[in-house]
Structure 1
Amino acid sequence: MMRNRFHASKRAFGWFFAFILFVGSAFAGGLDSSVQQMIVSIAPDWNASTGKLQFFERTNGEWKAAGPAIPVLYGKNGLVWGRGVFGTDEPGTHKQEHDGRAPAGVFKIGTIYTYDSALPSGAKYPFHTVGAGDAWIDDVNSPDYNKHVTVDPANPPPWFEKEKMRHGDFAYHWLVEIRHNSDPPVANGGSAIFFHIRRGPARKTAGCTTMAEDDLVKLIRWLRADKHPHYALLPRSEYEAKWKAWGLPSPQEASAVMP
């Protein structure tokens, strides 16, 4: 009898401990403390194609603006949930290839790609000089979908002309990788999402976030890999609902980019 009671108590304690762990994990969300740089952009609503962006740095657990707000452009059809650190598990529609929408959520910042052999003076961040054989794959049927690949430019595969990265296009002089749908890529989940130079102050994008070249260069000079920079792009209603749980700057701190 005593042995049965002991085993029953042990099982009950085990269930209670598992419940505590579950509740703790449910409320322990938010960005890891290693994330010390955050790029924040808040759109007026899901259908917006313009907004503002601002840099933030975290010191002693507090986010503080690291510069003024700057104007940016998003997808020509607005925003939709993306696949990143946050956003992947949100209910509703998620980004698809060629939908003309920018992915909403929180995303890691990846590699900088440039036509140049070096970053701007003062910059210190992982980069890759785009050569004649570099490509970014947007073919949803390719095993390398939404990945950077390099081929022999003297003997390129048939698809290379469509996917190559070096076009001499001024807008792609600097590409800062936004790691949407990257870990791992989901077929047709959207590809090639970057910060890059805008084509004009009102020229909307296919899903990237664009800005004036001077502002993009400021961003590149500011980024530091050891501060694990992330990008938060959300419509205002979602930002106000999720900032605290996700560990983002408060609406008061981000007031300069609030529509």
Structure 2
Amino acid sequence: MTDWTVSASGQFDFNGQVLRAALGKAGVRPEADKCEGDKATPLGRWPVRRVLYRADRGAAPETALPVRAIRDDDGWCDAPEDPAYNRPVRLPYPASAEALIREDGLYDVIVILGHNDDPPHPGAGSAIFLHCARPDYGPTLGCVALAKPDLLTLLKAMKPGDTLGVVDG
């Protein structure tokens, strides 16, 4: 089991090499203070669950984690009042849900993190993923993002039981 760590300043420690990471537009905040839509990356440590990827934009990532191609109708519920909150859903969905097919490439590869998922607490934040960064490392809406080549390299080293932590510093 490996505990992967990214600092609140956006430094990702990859086996002694420092990679640049993008974090939330509103910075970071303690996990207990995380709220839906606050654009902050929660501080904490979460299990790495599985990987989703765009098959039309590349082959399945090499990893020991469970991997599945994103379907055209894949979404993620971000409606705190809905029973499927912070869970995958099929689109169209009757409550608010984010589409996982994006044209900007940010979700070409998504690592699902175990933030607020066991069980989800309404309003405590949803869809906190590790995904591809913008070319300029612009901020996320609360996720952690790495350059796609760095993310693909990291996935080769990730395995079930690993965690990802966002820490002060």
TM-score normalised by structure 1 residue count = 0.60
Matched residues in 2 for 1:209 and 1:176: separation? 10
Matched residues in 2 for 1:213 and 1:132: separation? 21
Q: Is the 8 A contact 2:82 2:95 kept in 1?
A: no
**SS state of the match for residue 163, structure 1?**
strand
Q: Which has the higher contact order (CA 8 A, sep 6+)?
A: 2
| Structure with greater proportional strand content | 2
Matching of residue 124 in structure 1 with residue 60 in structure 2: no
- Superposition deviation, residue 232 in structure 1: 1.5
Kindly report which structure 2 residues correspond to 1:213-224, keeping only aligned pairs within 5 A, or say none.
213-224=148-159
- Residue 46 of structure 2: aligned partner: 107
Matched residues in 1 for 2:36 and 2:124: separation? 6
Q: Is the 8 A contact 2:128 2:142 kept in 1?
A: yes
The CA RMSD over aligned residues, in Å, is 1.9
TM-score normalised by structure 2 residue count = 0.89
Q: 1:202 to 1:129 in 2, by over 3 A?
A: closer
Kindly report which structure 2 residues correspond to 1:3-152, keeping only aligned pairs within 5 A, or say none.
36-43=1-8, 50-55=9-14, 66-82=15-31, 94-116=33-55, 118-120=59-61, 122-150=62-90
- Residue 167 of structure 2: aligned partner: 234
Unmatched segments (≥5 aa) in structure 2: none
Matched residues in 2 for 1:132 and 1:187: separation? 26
| Structure with greater proportional helix content | 1
Structure of higher CA gyration radius = 1
Deviation digits for residues 91-136 of structure 1, max 9, x if unmatched? xxx100111110101111111111128523x433201211022110
Deviation digits for residues 58-93 of structure 1, max 9, x if unmatched? xxxxxxxx35110111111111122xxxxx5xxxxx
Matched residues in 1 for 2:84 and 2:157: separation? 30
Q: 1:234 to 1:133 in 2, by over 3 A?
A: same
- Superposition deviation, residue 159 in structure 1: 4.4
Matching of residue 209 in structure 1 with residue 144 in structure 2: yes
Unmatched segments (≥5 aa) in structure 1: 1-35, 44-49, 56-65, 83-87, 89-93, 237-259
